[in-house]
Amino acid sequence: MRAAAPYVVAAMALLILLMAEQLSYRRKKGPLPGPPLVVPFFGSIFQLIGDPAAYWDSLAARAKESPMGLSADYFLGRFAVFIRDAELTHRVLANVRPDAFHFIGHPFGKKLFGDHNLIYMFGDDHRDLRRRIAPNFSPLALSTYADVQQRVIVSHLRRWLRDASDGERRKKKPFLLRLPCRDMNLETSQTVFVGPYLAAAAREEFARDYNLFNVGLMAMPVDLPGFAFRRAKRAVARLVRTLGDCARQSKARMRAGGEPECLMDYWMQDTVREVDEAAANGCSPPAHSSDDEIGGYVFDFLFAAQDASTSSLCWAVSALASHPDVLAGVRAEVAALWSPESGEPITAAVMAEMRYTQAVAREVVRYRPPATMVPHVAGEAFRLADGYTVPRGATVFPSLYEASFQGFRDPAAFDPDRFFSDERREDVAFRRNFLPFGAGAHQCVGQRYALNHLVLFMALFVSLVNFQRHVMKGCDDLVYIPTIAPKDDCAVYLEQRCAELPLF
């Protein structure tokens, strides 16, 4: 009996711990719908990783049944609250501060994204950095980027048409658009953000590291050698160093009087002036001006732009293919304002006249917001709704996706007229439910750039390419990679529509 005593004690201690875990979960859950009991420590993590779409749908379904629009769950020792209600989502996004909610971007993002990151900043520090970033998205800067975007888009369209033609001749297979879109967006982001400062060899290494980062985002957060999360973490460190070196080169070029060619240049113009003035006055360099810091912040931009744009482009193609009337409207508007035979890129002034195409872009991101949720952690207990207080340390998931299907007329329909019709003006009537770019202090600073990219892509794609969707059952079901994309990777048949693709 004495020999068995330690095992009995250990078993009883484990049982007490398990009971305490269940009681803690039940206390935090309170009146919210959610599992009555949870798997010790792991909770629902295997469902989340195995089938993210089904997992989030189940949380949304529970929240829809709740009068508060909330549901609860638990994974990897963390209590979680899913927020379906659009107004409660606004309440979280409007209270990002040390004593309320902390934006984390990913449940384990602080380990993954590195030290210098917009995601984890608050208050005056955050406002100062956004002030410095503002010139990167001025009308002049956006016009510069538009020329770059179009050159990259057309070069990739030429490649897609060649590859699709070869594939169809061999096996009549459709062209899977998601990964080519991702490659195109990665090149676009690299060229727009750091332009001449990333050599060809560095771009290849950059693409490999970014792929490691993407894989790690969807993997178990095991920070040990041999695991995808550790590989992703190391890849991020290399990416940030590379981008920091780009900042160093841009500073030197701006000091020498060079004209801005990329986002980094527009940023460094004012930065080098402030750094040099501080040095002349014997002061320390201003905050957020070191190469490593800037490299980390530019990585934030890259993360925000890369997969979100890939998602939007795929959903745009899918929506245009399944709505011939919308496709015809975009083609007619673009043809009236721009011709491939002009040999000139679409200007900012012309793009501003593409009101219907812009409405389609807004409807694409409403109908399928790329980043469906924006995870936050409660720094302190926060009374979110009458009858429920989010406990300290809980992870909350405000759903931008669910908000997009509230308030709008016939929200499950893809209908660009809601943003185009002067009578309907749903963008005004339901603006608080239009949340694909978030809200509050951390609202996406590059949303105009993202919408411009989508408008330019659609304008060029429908003008230069004839396309047909390879329709199969479930092809447009959602998959998380980590943003949402069509389940079939947006399979299409492509053929050239104009005599010659333009050379910009």
3-state secondary structure at position 38: coil
Residue 84 burial class via C-beta count within 10 angstroms: exposed 0-12, middle 13-18, buried 19 and up: buried
Task: Indicate the pTM of the whole model.
Answer: 0.93
Give the pLDDT mean for 353-373: 97
pLDDT of 177 above 90:
yes
Q: How much is the pLDDT for 173?
A: 86
Mean pLDDT for 210-238 is 89
Backbone angles phi, psi at 89, to 5 degrees: -60, -45
Phi, psi of 75 (to 5 degrees): -155, 145
Q: Which parts of 76-219 are beta strand (E)?
A: 78-83, 101-103, 175-176
Residue 221's pLDDT is 83
Tell me what pLDDT residue 284 has.
93
Task: For 258-294, write each residue's pLDDT tens digit.
Answer: 999 999 999 999 999 999 999 999 999 999 999 999 9
Determine the average pLDDT of the residues in 464-480.
96
pLDDT tens-place string over residues 226-260: 999 999 999 999 999 999 999 999 999 999 999 99
- What element of type H or E holds 10? helix 5-29
Q: How confident is the model at residue 415 (pLDDT cuts 50, 70, 90)?
A: very high
**What gap in Å lies between CA 293 and CA 335, rounded to an integer?**
44
Closest CA to 289 of 262, 304, 267: 267
Only one residue has tokens 């190391």, namely: 234
Q: Is 67 helix (H, G, I), strand (E, B) or coil?
A: coil
**pLDDT above 90 for 308:** yes
Residue of 458, 453, 405, 466 lying closest to 168 (CA atoms):
466
Q: What is the pLDDT of residue 210?
A: 85
Mean pLDDT check: name the lowest of 78-92, 166-180, 324-338, 355-369. 166-180
Is pLDDT above 80 for 14? no
DSSP of 310-374: HHHHHHHHHHHHH-HHHHHHHHHHHHHH--GGG-SPPPHHHHHH-HHHHHHHHHHHHHS-SS-B-
Give the contacts of 194 (CB within 8 A, at least 6 positions apart): 243, 246, 250, 262, 263, 264, 298
Q: Which residues contact 492 (CB under 8 A, 6 or more apart)?
A: 164, 174, 175, 177, 317, 321, 467, 468, 469, 470
Residue 222: the pLDDT is 87
Please state the φ and ψ torsions of residue 214, each to the nearest 5 degrees. Answer: -60, -45
Does 200 score more than 90 pLDDT? Answer: no
Q: CB-based contacts of 100: which residues, under 8 Å, 6+ apart?
A: 378, 379, 380, 382
| H or E element that contains 72 | strand 70-75
Percentage, residues of the chain above pLDDT 70: 97
Copy the structure tokens of residue 355.
Answer: 């009101």
Number of Cβ atoms within 10 Å of the Cβ of 199: 10
Beta-strand pair 395-398/78-83: parallel
DSSP 494: E
Residue type, 299: F
pLDDT given for residue 2 in this prediction: 66
pLDDT 10s digits, 71-112: 999 999 999 999 999 999 999 999 999 999 998 877 777 778
Domains defined for the chain, CATH in brackets: 1-114+376-403 (3.30.43.20), 117-125+139-242+291-369+410-504 (1.10.630.10)
53 contact partners, CB below 8 Å, separation of at least 6 = 477, 478, 479, 480, 484
Report how far apart, in Å, the C-alpha atoms of 23 and of each of 36, 38, 42, 46 are.
10, 10, 16, 22
The count of C-alpha atoms lying within 13 angstroms of the C-alpha of 384, restricted to the half-sphere facing its C-beta, is: 34
Q: How far apart, in whole angstroms, are the C-alpha atoms of residue 378 and residue 394? A: 5
**What pLDDT does residue 111 have?**
79
Residue with tokens 């030429």: 158
Which of 196, 191, 181, 100 has its CA nearest to residue 149?
Answer: 191
In this model, does residue 203 exceed pLDDT 90? no
Residue 15, classified by CB atoms within 10 Å of its CB into exposed (0-12), middle (13-18) or buried (19+), is exposed
**pLDDT at position 115:** 65
- Report the mean per-residue pLDDT for the chain: 93
Distance CA 338, CA 227 (A): 50
Q: With 70 as the cut, is the pLDDT of residue 175 above it?
A: yes
Report the C-alpha gap between 502 and 277 in whole angstroms: 45
Contact 485, 310 (CB under 8 A): yes
444 is an annotated ligand-binding site residue: yes
Q: What is the pLDDT of residues 309-344, one digit of tens each?
A: 999 999 999 999 999 999 999 999 999 999 999 989
Instruction: Report CA torsion sign: 178, 181, 183, 185.
Output: negative
CA distances from 455 to 136, 249, 418, 464 (A): 19, 31, 17, 14
- State the amino acid at position 448 in one-letter form: R
- What per-residue confidence (pLDDT) applies to 168? 55
Strand order across the beta sheet in which 395-398 lies: 70-75, 78-83, 395-398, 376-378, 101-103
